[in-house]
């Protein structure tokens, strides 16, 4: 590591993300005229410094060759080189570079924002903080021969400087890296060069730091005159790209397909996207009718929910499209709608709207947690064959009433956020988990009870200061499709062998998951998927023809007997038409995962509107965030264009900008590997989804998805954006840069996959943090309803000490600690998490937890029990529960452990780090070590108090040492801290 030289008056060190280019793996090449390679390390460096923006009377170079000593302040005075530039040639001896700062000789410094400049050999320029490699005083465009003016675009690569490396036809190449180009306008660089008698040249471009664009190894062939080069496209005889742009006067097309539907006194309006020669930026929706007069609303998506209207009143809606220049399309055709009667409903909740990093998360499968109302229990068609019936354990057992009843248990553990499985009406043979959505606009009645609706749960949680995070699915529906969008009308033959499987058609029955179909008196489904003869309008290919196979019972199998993307059952407009072949390929974003999960065509506007409208309903109810299922199977560009803006726009509209800022969206990006990038595929890596797009794609979402995939895969892992948002700058907290945040946070899959032991998870988590927009928002857990560490199919069984260590790390390291229900007592440890209907739920990791919660419990605060009786009192007395309660109390009392950035600089210790959070009057600085001992150097002097033991250490020389507390234990020394928090327990002592 190079030594950084600092002066008392210089600014503090600041970490900066390196700007990387699009062509990081390219190297110079020039066909029959090879490019000159980078020469061996020179004994000198000529440093050129740009003075125009400084207006200093004199400029000094203060430097130290690598491994050598710094010059005496202020350094050596630099000499005039050419207009606006000074220079100094430095003898490096055997060094390969130097550290440098600049000053005016009178105490005014440029030290690169506190990090100093790291300069190499040869000719190096420093201009307004940008380091490049060329001689700015070489005049290559003032001769009398032929000339070439070259414009080069860095809009895509993001380079902060550009060099032109060239050779006129028959001539020699410039010295690597070539001549510096000048900024012409935003995203464009320009250089005019003399060709002599030549009429063409070969060229390559670089950013001065080893990143090349050499036309994929072929170099560019350019002619004289003016040439532009953008995204490898050469345009000869081009117009000046920086000339004044022709004003945009073309209006977008008129929106079409406007529909309005009323439910009670609410109306959902949707329409097809308009097109524009640049881009549509918003829509203007106009409502007329009623007593309110004309109302105009700006809308960012293509769906709008209008609520609180008058009863039995006709309203009319029209839509206009608007582009960035303010051009507005003609109004669409009018869509009239008449409202009904106002439906009685509980008052909508309001999200708590606080920083989600303050709230540890408890994750429950609602149907398996606690049974508050046995009348809504349902076993389904697999109740007997699964073995659940023999255990008196129907798959739908827990419910919202049970959750409301046991919110105090969760609060007593210390959790202030509850992540619940999807709430929409499901439809399959085994759908208790919630991921087989059928009616996305309806809450599953198997979860609700009188006085315990979903709204009641949200309101009850908020009353206790607890958040509700709703699991949501945008990627797929059930195998029946999605009610209100498309539902299948037939699957297969209902002959004498299969008559038991589903019922006959009953036109008067509407599936709701709860009600038994009255014609058969035995099923919750309806026979509209099965028929004794091929129905009219059937779209499934080869319907009713035997496949030649037999079921396990020996029954004849027919074509179209089960859903398939390739059978013609599902319309191409709404559903994708393929099976996944490559889980890290483009098809994983546009094909079916499983036959029970019909894959939405999420690039279709009608599908988008259906899902946006559905989830608007739950936002309006006041949920505090969404956990996004199967996020990786939808292109990032679709998330960034459609779904994420719709979420945050809706929260802003209903509850304000502050609530939207803290509405917590975290995605499941299933990267089940142990490396930083998922098998080298950036499009399938979790951190990728935390970033905005960095180029424009086609207006058509389907084309844009392909373009984005190809573009980012070509850039590869070495050219992805980086972030310092999770890291301290020395000991200092810095304001994070969230300008490129997509709106989606992530589950920390890499830590999850490596939680075989805490040390491994810690090492892997740190390694990925620079590629996440802000890893302090990562959701961190050991195991879940899908997998244990290392993609294990069983719940974590590493032992109580290991669990205590895992918890100690999760509750103090960056990110939001999350616990899967029951892990506080090692519930079902070592058991298979999920075996579908092939075994009883009671023997799996999704077993019913309610037996451990019987009795009464009241929480007096987070992590504190006021009273408990019955079996729940025994549960709350378990050692990991005590450990968890105290961890939650400690984390809640120390802001650095909630929202702080971290660093391991100057620290020895296996799991040791420092964290700080500064905001307003809050300045929280903590030194943490888990299990092992640690020594911290270079820390602020002062009084540090351990939140675990109350031990006080006074630091006067910048060093603090801590003895190893033991496995599962930790030390949290807080500068000017609150003292010991809580009482000693089995691990924290």
464-480 tens-digit pLDDT: 999 999 999 999 999 99
Spatial CA neighbour of 191 closest among 215, 216, 174, 171: 174
Give the pLDDT confidence score for residue 495 in this predicted structure.
84
Give the pLDDT confidence score for residue 42 in this predicted structure.
52
Q: Which residue has the tokens 């939405």?
A: 600
Q: For residues 932-968, b (16+ Cβ closer than 10 Å) or e, as one string? A: bebebeebeeeebbbbbbeeeeebeeeebebeebebb
Q: Is residue 441 classed as helix, strand or coil in its secondary structure?
A: strand
pLDDT per residue over 340-396, tens digit each? 888 665 456 899 999 999 999 999 999 999 999 999 999 998 999 999 999 999 999
The backbone region for 211, taken as left when phi is positive above 0, alpha when psi lies in -120 to 50, beta otherwise, is beta
Write down the mean pLDDT value for the chain.
90
List, as one string, the DSSP characters of 578-647. Answer: -B-S-TTSGGGGTSBSBTTBEEB-TTSHHHHHHHHHHHHHHHHTT--EEEEETGGGS-HHHIIIIIHHHH
Provide the strand spans (E) within 816-900: 816-820, 856-861, 864-869
pLDDT per residue over 34-44, tens digit each? 333 333 345 68
Minimum mean pLDDT range among 37-51, 173-187, 767-781: 37-51
When pLDDT is averaged across residues 865-889 and rounded to a whole number, the result is 97
How many Cα atoms occupy the beta-carbon half-sphere of 295 within 13 Å? 14
Give the pLDDT confidence score for residue 917 in this predicted structure.
98
Give the pLDDT confidence score for residue 347 in this predicted structure.
57
Whether residue 2 is predicted with pLDDT greater than 70 in this model: the reply is no
Whether residue 7 is predicted with pLDDT greater than 60 in this model: the reply is no
Give the pLDDT confidence score for residue 4 in this predicted structure.
30
Two structure tokens written together for 812: 């103090």
Minimum mean pLDDT range among 132-136, 271-275, 422-426: 132-136
pLDDT per residue over 925-974, tens digit each? 999 999 999 999 999 999 999 999 999 999 999 999 999 999 999 999 99
Higher pLDDT, 894 or 561: 894
How many Cα atoms occupy the beta-carbon half-sphere of 486 within 13 Å? 18
Q: How confident is the model at residue 211 (pLDDT cuts 50, 70, 90)?
A: confident
Whether residue 923 is predicted with pLDDT greater than 50 in this model: the reply is yes
Spatial CA neighbour of 471 closest among 303, 665, 699, 694: 665
Q: How far apart are CA 871 and CA 719, in angstroms?
A: 55
Q: Which residue has the tokens 């990562």?
A: 778
When pLDDT is averaged across residues 839-853 and rounded to a whole number, the result is 98
CB 502 within 8 Å of CB 529: yes
Helices 758-768 and 800-810: angle between axes, nearest 10 degrees: 30
DSSP state of 842: G
Neighbours of 718 (CB within 10 A): 13
Which residues are paired to 280 by β-bridges?
323
Q: How confident is the model at residue 19 (pLDDT cuts 50, 70, 90)?
A: very low
Higher pLDDT, 871 or 19: 871
Spatial CA neighbour of 744 closest among 822, 829, 655, 641: 641
DSSP state of 452: B
Q: Is residue 818 classed as helix, strand or coil in its secondary structure?
A: strand
CB 113 within 8 Å of CB 77: no
Max intra-chain CA distance, the chain: 99
Give the pLDDT confidence score for residue 14 in this predicted structure.
26
Give the pLDDT confidence score for residue 140 in this predicted structure.
53
Give the pLDDT confidence score for residue 5 in this predicted structure.
31
Give the pLDDT confidence score for residue 345 in this predicted structure.
52
Establish whether the linkage from the previous residue to 5 is cis, with ω within 30° of 0.
no
Q: How confident is the model at residue 421 (pLDDT cuts 50, 70, 90)?
A: very high
Contact residues for 591 (Cβ-Cβ < 8 A; gap 6+): 565, 576, 578, 579, 580, 581, 599
Pairing of the two strands 745-746 and 664-667: parallel
Q: How confident is the model at residue 159 (pLDDT cuts 50, 70, 90)?
A: confident
Give the whole-number percent of the chain exceeding pLDDT 70.
Answer: 94
When pLDDT is averaged across residues 690-715 and rounded to a whole number, the result is 94
Give the pLDDT confidence score for residue 787 in this predicted structure.
95
Give the pLDDT confidence score for residue 28 in this predicted structure.
43
Q: How confident is the model at residue 27 (pLDDT cuts 50, 70, 90)?
A: very low
The pTM of the full predicted model, rounded to 2 decimals, is 0.75
Q: How confident is the model at residue 456 (pLDDT cuts 50, 70, 90)?
A: very high
CB 59 within 8 Å of CB 49: yes
Higher pLDDT, 28 or 350: 350
Whether residue 677 is predicted with pLDDT greater than 60 in this model: the reply is yes
Give the whole-number percent of the chain exceeding pLDDT 90.
Answer: 70
pLDDT per residue over 556-611, tens digit each? 999 888 889 999 999 999 999 999 998 888 899 999 999 899 999 999 999 999 99
Contact residues for 70 (Cβ-Cβ < 8 A; gap 6+): 5, 62, 63, 64, 99
Give the pLDDT confidence score for residue 348 in this predicted structure.
65
Spatial CA neighbour of 488 closest among 448, 526, 521: 526
Q: How confident is the model at residue 534 (pLDDT cuts 50, 70, 90)?
A: confident
Kindly tell me the burial class for residue 39, based on how many C-beta atoms sit within 10 Å of its own C-beta (0-12, 13-18, 19 or more). exposed
């Amino acid at each position: 590591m190079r030594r950084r030289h600092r002066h008392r008056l210089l600014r503090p060190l600041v970490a900066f993300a390196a700007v990387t280019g699009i062509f990081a793996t390219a190297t110079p090449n020039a066909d029959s005229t090879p490019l000159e390679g980078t020469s061996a390390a020179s004994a000198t460096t000529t440093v050129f410094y740009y003075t125009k923006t400084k207006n200093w009377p004199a400029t000094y170079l203060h430097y130290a060759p690598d491994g050598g000593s710094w010059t005496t302040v202020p350094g050596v005075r630099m000499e005039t080189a050419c207009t606006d530039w000074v220079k100094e040639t430095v003898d490096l001896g055997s060094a390969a570079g130097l550290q440098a700062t600049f000053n005016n000789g009178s105490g005014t410094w440029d030290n690169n924002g506190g990090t100093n400049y790291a300069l190499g050999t040869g000719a190096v320029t420093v201009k307004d903080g940008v380091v490049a490699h060329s001689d700015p005083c070489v005049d290559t465009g003032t001769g009398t021969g032929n000339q070439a003016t070259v414009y080069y675009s860095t809009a895509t690569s993001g380079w902060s400087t550009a060099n032109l490396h060239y050779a006129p036809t028959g001539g020699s190449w410039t010295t690597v890296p070539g001549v510096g180009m000048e900024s012409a306008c935003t995203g464009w660089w320009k250089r005019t060069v003399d060709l002599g008698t030549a009429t063409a040249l070969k060229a390559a471009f670089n950013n001065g730091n080893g990143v090349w664009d050499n036309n994929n190894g072929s170099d560019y062939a350019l002619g004289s005159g003016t040439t532009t080069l953008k995204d490898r496209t050469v345009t000869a005889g081009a117009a000046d790209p920086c000339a004044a742009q022709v004003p945009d006067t073309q209006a977008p097309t008129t929106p079409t397909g406007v529909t309005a539907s009323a439910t009670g006194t609410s109306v959902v309006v949707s329409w097809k996207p308009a097109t524009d020669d640049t881009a549509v930026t918003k829509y203007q929706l106009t409502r007329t009718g009623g007593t309110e007069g004309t109302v105009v609303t700006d809308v960012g998506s293509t769906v709008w929910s209008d609520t609180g209207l008058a009863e039995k009143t006709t309203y009319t809606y029209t839509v206009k499209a608007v582009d960035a220049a303010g051009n507005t399309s003609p109004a669409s055709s009018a869509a009239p709608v008449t409202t009904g009667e106002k439906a009685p409903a509980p008052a909508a909740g309001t999200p708590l709207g606080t920083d989600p990093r303050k709230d540890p998360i408890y994750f429950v499968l609602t149907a398996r947690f606690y049974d508050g109302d046995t009348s809504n229990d349902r076993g389904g068609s697999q109740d007997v064959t699964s073995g659940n019936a023999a255990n008196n354990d129907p798959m739908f057992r827990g419910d919202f009433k049970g959750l409301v009843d046991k919110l105090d248990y969760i609060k007593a553990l210390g959790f202030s956020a509850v992540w619940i499985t999807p709430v929409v009406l499901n439809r399959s043979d085994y759908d208790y988990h919630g991921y087989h959505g059928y009616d996305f606009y309806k809450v599953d009645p198997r979860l609700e009870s009188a006085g315990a609706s979903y709204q009641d749960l949200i309101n009850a949680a908020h009353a206790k200061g607890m958040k509700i995070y709703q699991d949501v699915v945008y990627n797929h529906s059930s195998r029946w499709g999605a009610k209100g969008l498309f539902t299948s009308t037939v699957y297969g033959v209902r002959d004498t062998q299969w008559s038991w499987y589903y019922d006959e058609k009953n036109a008067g029955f509407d599936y709701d998951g709860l009600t038994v179909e009255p014609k058969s008196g035995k099923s919750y489904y309806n026979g509209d998927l099965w028929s004794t003869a091929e129905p009219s309008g059937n779209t499934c290919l080869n319907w009713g023809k035997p496949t030649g196979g037999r079921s396990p019972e020996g029954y004849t199998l027919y074509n179209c007997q089960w859903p398939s993307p390739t059978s013609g059952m599902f319309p191409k407009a709404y559903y994708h038409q393929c099976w996944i072949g490559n889980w890290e390929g483009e098809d994983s974003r546009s094909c079916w995962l499983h036959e029970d999960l019909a894959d939405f065509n999420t690039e279709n506007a009608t599908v988008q509107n259906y899902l946006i409208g559905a989830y608007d309903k739950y936002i309006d109810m006041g949920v505090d965030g969404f956990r996004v299922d199967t996020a990786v199977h939808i292109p990032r560009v679709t998330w960034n264009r459609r779904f994420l803006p719709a979420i945050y726009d809706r929260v802003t509209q209903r509850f304000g900008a502050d609530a939207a800022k803290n509405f917590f969206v975290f995605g499941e990006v299933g990267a089940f590997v142990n490396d930083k990038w998922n098998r080298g595929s950036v499009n399938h890596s979790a951190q990728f989804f935390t970033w905005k797009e960095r180029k424009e794609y086609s207006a058509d979402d389907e084309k844009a998805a392909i373009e984005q995939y190809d573009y980012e895969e070509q850039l590869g892992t070495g050219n992805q954006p980086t972030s310092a948002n999770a890291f301290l700058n020395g000991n200092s907290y810095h304001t994070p840069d969230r300008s490129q945040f997509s709106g989606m946070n992530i589950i920390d899959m890499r830590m999850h996959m490596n939680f075989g032991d805490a040390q491994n998870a810690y090492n892997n988590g740190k390694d990925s943090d620079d590629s996440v927009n802000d890893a302090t928002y990562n959701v961190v857990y050991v195991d879940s309803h899908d997998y244990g560490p290392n993609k294990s199919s069983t719940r974590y069984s590493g032992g109580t000490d290991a669990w205590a260590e895992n918890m100690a790390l999760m509750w103090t390291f960056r990110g939001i600690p999350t616990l899967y229900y029951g892990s506080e007592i090692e519930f079902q440890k070592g058991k298979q998490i999920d075996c579908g209907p092939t075994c009883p739920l009671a023997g799996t990791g999704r077993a019913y937890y309610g037996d451990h919660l019987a009795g009464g419990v009241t929480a007096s605060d987070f992590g504190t029990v006021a009273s408990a009786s019955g079996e729940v009192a025994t549960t709350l007395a378990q050692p990991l529960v005590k450990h968890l309660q105290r961890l939650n109390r400690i984390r809640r009392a120390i802001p650095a452990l909630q929202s702080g950035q971290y660093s391991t600089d100057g620290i020895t210790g296996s799991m040791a780090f420092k964290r700080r959070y500064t905001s307003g009057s809050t300045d929280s600085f903590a030194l943490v070590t888990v299990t092992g001992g640690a020594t911290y150097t270079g820390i602020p002097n002062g009084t540090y108090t351990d939140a675990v033991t109350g031990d006080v250490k006074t630091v006067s020389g910048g060093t603090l040492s801590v003895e190893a507390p033991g496995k599962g234990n930790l030390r949290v020394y807080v500068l000017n801290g609150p003292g010991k928090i809580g009482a000693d327990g089995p691990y924290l002592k």
